[in-house]
Structure 1
Amino acid sequence: MELTGGQAVVRSLIKSGVNQIYGLPGVQNDWLYNALYDYRDEIRVIHTRHEQGAGYMALGHYLATGEKAVYNIVPGPGFLNSCGALSTIWGLNAKVMCLVGQIPQKVQGKGYGVLHEIPDQMGILKSLTKWAKKVDSPASIPNIISQAFTQLDSGRPRPVGVEVSMDVLSGKEDVSFDGFSVDSIMPIVDEAAIDKAIELIKQAKNPLVFVAGGAMHASDEVRAFVEYIQSPVFAYRTGKGIVPSSHYLSYPVPAAHMLWKDCDLCISIGSHARMPLMKWGQDDSLKYLSINVDESAHDRMRKADVKITGDSKEVLTILNTQLKSSMNERPSKEKEMKAFAQAWNEQVTYLEPQKSYLDMIREELPADGILVDELTQVGFASRIVWNTELPRTYLCTGHMGTLGWGFQTALGAKAARPDATVISVAGDGGFMFGVQELATAVQHKLGVIVLLFNNNLFGNVRSMQERLYDNRVIATDLHNPDFVKMAHAFGANSTRVHSMEDLRKAIRDASGESLPTVIEIPVGNDWPSTNKFKALPKVK
């Protein structure tokens, strides 16, 4: 059938299971948005107020659901505006497609100064994705889009990029979808490596398991594994909820420091186990078992004694079955671990008032509700003391540490899971990076609850200036708007609270609202830091 390139793109997205796209129109993408209009009954457009918002919302969509997500922007400055989000998508191993426009093919690389022309856009796109390709004709679009989604579903999850020039989007050709498919290609699990892993586990007296985002889809399998071998399991920024925080074997990664000295087998599942392996020391007795879909990741922190390359869910399904025929289930450590939990809890009691805020938020947020952290003191503390019962309900920026990501990512989570309560923890500095997306939230009725802790500072940087650099205070004071009036001007709900109970009431009032709610909480900058947990001493 004869289609425009824009129509071929949109039909390919729909055939790939995409029913929502985040983006911004612009002249290079006119024919894409014409097609999105034509197929508006099958695919929804959530348009943002800035390109970074489109990228972060697509990221939030993926993190909250595990579903592939797509965002679209114009080329050049529009694409570059989204690169902070794209780098975070890369760092979080997210299945997100960056669908970017481009100037006409005949003028590319000529330096004519065409609108939005930049040098080597594809080179930048390739550097922030696992796979990227340029479309050169409408007829080639279904094949390239199916390749892109196959890449998203194969091997290590990471973003992909597709670049479509404006003349390709407007051009018409006969386009065929015959044979269109999205496949998943995963490494074949090495049975010999499974056998070696079982021998390591059988010999280990004090194994410790570390999980991260690569095991998020394998929650049941991870839980069955650690229960059978009775190993504590530790998660931090990207692994919370894989095993419920209420489980007697489940703890945040810094808690493992108390057990690391006696650990004789470190098992990482979809994780690098960076903190213990790089910072806490190693000795000759420590063995390392790495389970990772990315073959190149096994030896990144240290050489693995046994490495199993494969999807964590598939690997653990095989490993759990073979463990049952190779060794008896180990006796319960529940009593021992409850004593350990008490000792750990004593170590974090100093984190006040952050802990009290988080405990109260936890009481008000349903188990399937979503908390999105941010680079603010409550956010930092949440990585350690927030209790997460279900996968994909705690969203964190991971190692990328992208200030301002939280509110925008929370909007994507809400768009993908409209029935879930979504709370974004924010500081005044980070919130202002994406404040314009309040307009997006109001327009698309994305009822995210923003808890805005306002100290009128880049507070974390200010604390470092004061404590580490002899009070060399510079460029950290902030002049802020009246956040309540500003939110109201956008059409959002807003209030300011000065007590824990008032905050509790405000959260209850905001729950279920179709419009976003900004709850401002004025605070100081004298809260205790979590930094000591990042610098725990070597014990081996």
Structure 2
Amino acid sequence: MNQMYNTPSSFQESTAESENMTAADATVSSLITNGIDTVYALPGLHNDPFFDSCYRAKNLRVIHPRHEQACGYMALGAALSTGRAQVSAVVPGPGLLNTSAAILTAEGMCAPVLTIAGQIPQADIDRKHGHLHEIRDQMGLASHIAKYTQRIKAPHEAPQVIDQAISAMFSDRPGPAVVECAMDVWARRGAVRPMPANSGVTPPAVDEDAVRLAAEVLSSASNPMIIVGGGALEASQEILALAELTGAPVLSYRRGRGVIPSDHPLAINLPIGYRLWPKVDVAVAVGTRFFVQEKQWGIDKDLKVIRIDADPEAAERLQQPAVSLVGDAAAYTGALVKRLEQSKANKSQKQDLEPHRQWFADRLTPLQPQADYLTAIRSALPRDGIFVDEVTQVGFASRLAFPVYSPRTFLSPGYQDNLGWGYGTALGAQAANPNKAVVAIAGDGGFLYQIGELATAALHSLPVVAVVFDNGMFGNVMRIQKERFGGRYIGAQLKSPDFMKVAEGFGVNGLRANSPKELEKKLGYALALREPALIHVPCGEMPSVWDMILAPRIRG
């Protein structure tokens, strides 16, 4: 971690002329200099000067939702769908706590989200006077869910703090940052020396000796497999070249989906990967925690692992790999391809994956209606459209069965798997990608977490289409209580509103689909409107997909 909390000010110098400006103006100017064009935020007393600076700034828009959780989720959706730094702003105390689940999710998903939080008067911080929104050790709290935390204590510090936050968000394993500023400091004036745009983090040089060793290991493989995660999203071409050179199937699950298109002959999903796992002799793990393979499927002495990861600590967390390549995924994968092409020593053969694809298709047949609903959505959604997964039965199935054709078009909440994250995340993805179609699925339970954000979609003309599968229950909870606790149901049944009337009340297009065929038709219509829409899909209890996700240990 590159965390900086309560560290002394030791800021780099700039040759720019100093200007007399407020801390708020210096902060906003620094954001714009670094390419930030949108702030997802809710105003409040502690941040009034900051918002006034946003108002006066050119080329900066503020999108305000109805709840602080959506500030964080919108920034997260924008970051996940673009790979660029995004910013949210909230008041201190309850405001930061309301958005903390989104920050935690950003930490788990390695997303560069900067949260700007207000504070009580600087002299009173942590004095327990009882100020509005006062909270003890706000930055200490944030340090548990963010890579970088810092306070702007004077106007001249603002450019350097923003610069350090951006550097931290992209260094090693990317992640979120939290910056706070006291309410009386925002309007304080001083001499500020602006800084140029952050030049980015220079990845470590490629270790050619390590690449040579990795190439030797991979060249000896008869049945290699490539496993990709979120850290491989910018290395699509290199990974595809490596796969085609070695004949290795490429396994992606959730964050890594789309690194190579689902319709590529070498693309495989989690169940097929599990089926192949016993015979894999070399696994190349690119930008992935590799948790499923190491902790669930198992590894034995006959399986060698090559890890490519920006995080220098990644290789030490589980079993020691045969080779660890620390740095940029595209650079290392490209170097590995080059080395293999030069050596021409690779002995692996392209595997025939069609029998496995047919096996999975047969497994999907009883997984209804999820499979047909996913087919309907994929048929209506353009190839480059963005699909936002949710913690719902259709969402779980989508992680295995929804075709994805390019990086950053399948957004899934990572290991936090937090219910209700989806709609706000989709709104942020739409705001950052105005020319793309965005579809967010949800269950009737999860959608009510952010149902008020239908107002945000209507106000800001964000044409996300929300597909709400309504079965009157928390499906996972109900299933577990049925199977493991003798049907002693508690906290599982739901009473939802009339979603059509809710949509109408918010000024959003409301549609209903009673079958997969109707869903495909209604979704195509809604996407063509380019207006916010909600499609209500009444449904019953759905079969579990978890036996294909939480498969038992098979090696080691």
| TM-score (structure 2 length as normaliser) | 0.94
- State yes or no: 1:64 paired with 2:85: no
Written as runs of structure 1 = structure 2, the 5 A alignment for 1:50-61 is 50-61=67-78
Q: Does 1:131 align with 2:168?
A: no
Indicate the percent of aligned positions where both proteins have the same amino acid: 39
1:449-483 deviation per Cα after TM superposition (whole angstroms, max 9, x unaligned): 11100011112111111111111101111121111
Alignment of 1:516-531 (within 5 A): 516-525=532-541, 527-531=542-546
1:16 aligned onto 2:34 = yes
Q: For 1:321-332, what aligned pairs fall within 5 Å after superposition?
A: 321-327=338-344
Q: Cα offset for 1:528?
A: 1.2
Per the alignment, do residues 181 and 357 of structure 1 end up closer, same or farther by CA in structure 2, a change over 3 Å counting? closer
| Residue of structure 1 aligned with 2:228, choices 211, 218, 222 | 211
d(CA) in 1 for partners of 2:482, 2:356: 35
Instruction: Point out the more displaced range, 411-420 or 455-464.
Output: 455-464
* Shift, 1:139, TM fit: 1.0
Q: Sort the Cα spacing of 1:426 and 1:266 in 2 relative to 1 into closer, same or farther, 3 A.
A: same
Q: Kindly provide the CA deviation profile for residues 203-229 of structure 1, in whole angstroms up to 9, marking residues without a partner as x.
A: 111111110100011111111111111
Instruction: Spell out the pairing of 1:194-273 with structure 2 (5 A cutoff).
Output: 194-273=211-290
1:380 aligns with 2:411: no
Query: For 2:173 and 2:552, how far apart are their aligned partners in 1?
Result: 32
Q: Which residue of 1 aligns with 2:15?
A: none
Which of the residues 331, 334, 355 maps onto 1:314?
331
1:483 is matched with which residue? 499
Matched, 1:304 2:335: no
Counterpart CA distance in 1 for 2:195 and 2:391 is 47
- Distance across 2 between alignment mates of 1:427 and 1:469: 23
CA separation in 2, counterparts of 1:376 and 1:70?
28
Q: CA RMSD in A?
A: 1.4
Matched positions, count: 537
Aligned residue type for 2:512: R
Which amino acid letter does the alignment assign opposite residue 549 of structure 2?
A: K
- Secondary structure at the aligned position of 1:289 is classed as strand
After superposition, the C-alpha distances for 1:22-41 in whole angstroms (9 at most, x for unaligned) are 010000000000000101x3
Distance, in Å, in 1 between the alignment partners of 2:346 and 2:54 is 55
Counterpart in 2 of 1:34? 52
Residue equivalent to 1:426: 442
1:14-61: CA deviations, max 9, x gaps?
A: 00010111010000000000000101x310100111111000000100
Q: 1-side partners of 2:189 and 2:162: how far apart?
A: 17
Q: Is the 8 A contact 1:146 1:182 kept in 2?
A: no
Mean Cα deviation higher: 147-156 or 363-372:
147-156
- Whether contact under 8 Å (1:147, 1:182) holds in the other structure is no
**Which residue number corresponds to residue 535 of structure 1?**
550
The answer as to whether partners of 1:142 and 1:180 remain within 8 angstroms in 2 is no
Distance 1:490 1:206 in 2: 55
Deviation by residue 1:350-403 (Cα, 9 ceiling, x = unmatched): 211111110111111111001100011110000010100111111000111110
Which region of structure 1 is more displaced relative to structure 2, 302-311 or 25-34? 302-311
SS where residue 168 of structure 1 aligns? coil
Question: Offset of 1:178 from its aligned partner?
Answer: 4.7
Answer with 449-458 or 341-350: which moved more. Answer: 341-350
Once the two structures are superposed, the pairs formed by residues 110-509 of structure 1 within 5 Å of their partners are 110-178=127-195, 181-327=198-344, 333=350, 336-509=352-525
Match of 1:167, SS state, is coil
Report SS of the residue matched to 1:22.
strand
Letter paired with 2:237: D
Gaps of 5+ in 2: 1-18
SS at match of 2:466: strand
Alpha-carbon offset, residue 328 of structure 1: 5.2
User: How much does 1:504 deviate?
Assistant: 1.9
Stretch moving more, 499-508 or 194-203: 499-508
State the secondary structure of the residue aligned to 2:353: helix
Q: Deviations over 1:465-502 (max 9, x none)?
A: 11111111011111211111011101111022212232
Structure 1: stretches of 5+ with no match in the other structure: none
| Alpha carbons 1:216, 1:392 under 8 Å: kept | yes
Task: List per-residue Cα deviations over 1:116-135 (Å, max 9, x = no partner).
Answer: 00111000111111111111
